[in-house]
Amino acid sequence: MSANLQIFFQDLQKRGLIANAANLDNFYQLKPSEKVVYLGIDCTGEKLHIGHLFLYFQTIRFAKQGFKILLILGGATSKIGDPSDKDKERPLLEEKQIENYQEKIKSQLEKILIRPKKKEKINFAPLEYFYSDNPELLKKIYEKLNINQNDKKEKQ
């Protein structure tokens, strides 16, 4: 039994995030390759909302415990809706509208989840030093490397 998973589960319970549980021994004995959880997002609007954010934060908790996260942008449940305590049924959405919502939410998630790569600063000092006596050759080197003078100035 993994003490870490047991402590993790107990923490989730204390926070009121677990309503019911079955087969906890199976959960506590998960192998690393079996630690998978999914976050399903219904695409019923153009933007993520507070409910999505809440689930996203819970997913982060699992990721910190070594769980692999599967992110699923819903299609079927986006169309028909999930059961809820609401008095009215949610209107059915058209496929095209759901696809539009999926693209917009996917774009938002990419901004949150995918960090842009940092551009490395290129040190041009060696080139400048070695070819200071031959500006024409230095210019050809810049051209060959597809470095224009503006790039060179920005990256110094």
State the average pLDDT over residues 47-56.
88
For residue 27, give every residue at least 6 positions away whose Cβ sits within 8 Å of its Cβ, in sequence order, or none. Answer: 5, 9, 21
Highest mean pLDDT out of 5-14, 93-102, 112-121, 137-146? 5-14
- Which among 64, 67, 46 is positioned nearest to 109, based on CA atoms? 46
Q: How much is the pTM?
A: 0.62
- Indicate if the pLDDT at residue 37 is higher than 90: yes
pLDDT of residue 155: 44
Q: What is the mean pLDDT of residues 80-93?
A: 66
User: Minimal CA–CA distance to 73: which of 32, 44, 112, 49?
Assistant: 44
Please tell me the distance from the alpha carbon of residue 93 to that of residue 16, in angstroms, as a whole number: 33
Query: Which whole number is the average pLDDT over 133-140?
Result: 87
Residue with tokens 């060959």: 144
